[in-house]
Amino acid sequence: GEAIPFCASFRVTPGHPVMLGHYPGRPVVPGTCLLDAALQAIEIAQPPQEGRGLGLRQILGAQFLHVVVPGDPIELTLSRAAPTAARVSTWRASFASRSRQVARAGLCIGPADAASPQEPPSLHVTPAWTVLDPHDVARLLPHRSPLLLVDAARLSPDGMSLVATRSVSLADSCYAQLPPAAGGRWLDYPALLAVESFAQAAGLLLGGAGQSGVPLL
């Protein structure tokens, strides 16, 4: 269908708390912050009655092309494709800074309570799997609090599979501004933080922990 353009501009301030952990000494705006800005813009771009009860269903082909640092001006352009199903639509988000494209992604938006895709079979973790404790995770990833989103992991003997764990509590920064007596969907863990946690687990696997023969300790 015909695309509906929507433009917005913003900056991530150098003092933003997330910059403390992404990365210490060399702060870089996380890709999840860019995508979260796109989701907020989509909420504004949609008619209120249409956007009620909708949320992120899928990220399509996200690409982060250039580093964005705190304070950089960011221009966001959104275009919307015709809905493919009842209340389900795809938005293309493009981010530019200082006249060059820095990121792009497709975001599938639909009912937040829709059935999730079937979960893949769980991996069978045995005592032969290598344990990556919090010290190992901190050594292998450059992230730090509040954006270090893997607590520990187990690596398969062949170095091809990894199972990561992450404990979520109300002490997490994403719950810092919860209204009093919040419950229900207010306590849902943000989808983009779950994606970031998954990406960090992939980083453990691809960036060293998954390389056969590389000592972990």
Amino acid at 214: V
Note whether 147 and 30 are within 8 A (CB).
yes
pLDDT tens digits, 160-172 = 999 999 999 999 9
d(CA 110, CA 88) in angstroms, rounded, equals: 4
Q: Which residue has the tokens 């992120």?
A: 56
Note whether 154 and 162 are within 8 A (CB).
yes
Closest by CA to 136, choosing from 196, 193, 28, 210, is 210
The token pair that represents 16 in the structure block: 């933003």
Q: Does pTM surpass 0.85?
A: no
From the CA atom positions of the chain, what is the Rg in Å? 19
pLDDT tens digits, 7-28 = 999 999 998 888 999 999 999 9
